Amino acid sequence: MPCDNHRRLEIAVQPVPKQDPKERVKNWDEAFLGYALETAVIEAERCIQCPTAPCQEACPVENDIPGSFALLEKGDVIGAANVFRETSTLPEMCGRLCPQESLCEGACVVGFAIRTADMGRQPPVSIGKLESFVTDYQRRTEGLPMPELAPPSGKKVAVVGSGPASLAVAEELIKKGHACTVFEAWPEPGGVLLYGIPNFKMRKEILDEKLAFLQGLGIEFVCNTRIGTDVSIDDLFRQGHHAVFIGTGAGVGGQMRIPGEELGEVYQATEFLVRGNLEPQQLPDEMRQPLPVGKHVLVVGGGDTSMDCVRTAIRLGAESVTCMYRRTEHEQKGREEERRHALEEGVQFQYLTVPTRFTGQNGRVTAAECIRMRLGEADDSGRRRPEPVPDSEFTVPADTVVLAIGYSADDLLEETTPGLHTDKRSHLIRVKEDYSTSRRGMFAGGDNVNGADLVVTALADGRRAAEAIHSYLQGL
């Protein structure tokens, strides 16, 4: 190993300052406070600049991570930010939201490098936190950099939905000279970036600035408009759009189908999160009432969405917050970092347990009847299947219940768009390699193609679909 690498491997990991749990439960600010310039530069020096860059390969948008950090360690923060912006339209969000441990940081050679006994094993370079640091720094000091815009092509594209996939499509297409109108069902654009992800994971100003920037580029946003109900996709073509991108996500919350699910104060995760985290004017009329969070909040489900719900419940002032999951921590799919945050903030975990019925008084939930589970044989996903333990029933008090047991796509566009091929069971839209659907001029990407996934995979789809839409428009 060259001696420069030895030197780099000896640099201690630079921890990112965080709000103390006791303090952060009293506010909605991000838990991580972010790097300072000096510590960010030292952390970037830990990158050993591997020529094969496995971190880049593991990144769905193939960010040139070593290239960026080579500039950062010389103090060129803006240059480092621009490297991320070459391949990603939302780097400050990905830096905060990606599960880096299973993407770039999971592949980082520094995290695998063999150490002498006294050094022990070091964590990988903090790629995500550095990505947010450099891009935040750039936004704060210079604003988002203006791209070069091609002259108007005379072509118009309708983008349905306004999550990360759609924002990426619209940004890439407007740069190529095509007019873009984004249609969104919620009152404001952003998809799950606004209507889902809480402020303590990503402050909303970052999204607001991005949306203002996109509007400044000429992208038009039309909200409170559900395509398929108010206007059909065929209407969009009749209105003169030359192509349509469908980025409607997977927003239908899973149901348990157990007695008592219809009781008052039993919420779907999205409703609980948006009413807990957003201002009433950002919500549809029927969701503008204050959220009456109870003393004992029970969140069912063990993924990242349930961590968002339990941490929201804590900040809303619940006395006790329990996360109930039918398997063990070992099988949990979400980020370990999020579980740690929840534990630090006082959330209790009930593993190997499921509710079998919610009971209530005067139409409102008051308790959950539960049963203990044990793990049996592995199922199709390779995880051991939970099975009920006979005679292990018990009841817990619960005056607010939140169901966070997964999301799927809805069937509205499948029902209202003749010739659009979907998987009839999952309602996911079938696309070819270039993201084109069975209908000419219609493209799709993000969670409505992949199933509930990640911001970065939706973003990657959006960028690639934009290339395909551009080629299609040029060929018209």
Ligand X SMILES: Cc1cc2nc3c(=O)[nH]c(=O)nc-3n(C[C@H](O)[C@H](O)[C@H](O)COP(=O)(O)OP(=O)(O)OC[C@H]3O[C@@H](n4cnc5c(N)ncnc54)[C@H](O)[C@@H]3O)c2cc1C
Contacts to ligand X by CB under 6 A: 97-98, 160-166, 183-186, 191-192, 195-197, 201, 226-228, 247-249, 251, 273, 304-305, 308, 407, 412-413, 446-447, 453-456, 458
Closer CB to ligand X, 108 or 194, in the complex: 194
Of the pair 249, 276, the CB lying nearest ligand X is at 249
Nearer to ligand X, 215 or 474 (CB): 215
Q: Which of 113, 235, 94, 86 is nearest to 164 (CA)?
A: 94
* 72/93 with CB nearer ligand X: 93
The closest alpha carbon to 445, from 55, 129, 136, 164, belongs to 164
Q: How far apart are CA 55 and CA 48, in angstroms?
A: 12
Would you say 247 or 294 has its CB closer to ligand X? Answer: 247
CA distance 226 to 59: 33
The residue among 367 and 402 lying less far from ligand X, judged by its C-beta, is 402
Q: What is the DSSP letter of 301?
A: -
Shortest Å distance, C-beta 60 to ligand X: 10
Identify any residues that bridge with 42 across adjacent strands, giving them in sequence order. Answer: none
Q: Is the Cβ–Cβ distance between 86 and 71 less than 8 Å? A: no
Residue 231 φ/ψ, nearest 5 degrees: -145, 145
Shortest reach from residue 334's CB to ligand X, in Å: 9
Tokens 């509930």, residue located: 452
Written as six digits, the tokens of 394 are: 């018990």
- Nearer residue to ligand X within complex by CB, 72 or 168: 168
Cβ 213 to ligand X shortest distance, Å: 18
Residue with tokens 């059909």, as numbered in its chain: 232
Pick between residue 370 and residue 428 the one whose CB is nearest to ligand X: 428
In whole angstroms, the minimum distance from the beta carbon of 128 to ligand X comes to 11
Nearest to residue 269, comparing CAs of 400, 365, 399, 403?
A: 403
- Least separation, in Å, of the C-beta of 125 and ligand X? 20
At 312 the three-state DSSP class reads helix
Q: Give least dist CB 58 to ligand X, A.
A: 14
Q: How far is the CB of 432 from ligand X (least distance, A)?
A: 18
**Closest CB to ligand X among 288 and 374?**
288
State the nearest-atom distance from the C-beta of 202 to ligand X, in Å. Answer: 8
| Tokens, residue 436 | 């084109």
Q: How far apart are CA 248 and CA 445, in angstroms?
A: 9
| Greatest pairwise CA separation for the chain in angstroms | 72
> What's the rounded Cα separation, in Å, for the pair 82 and 93?
15
- Give Cβ neighbours of residue 238 (< 8 Å, ≥ 6 apart): none
Give phi and psi for 67, each to the nearest 5: -60, -40
Residue 404: CB minimum distance to ligand X, A: 8
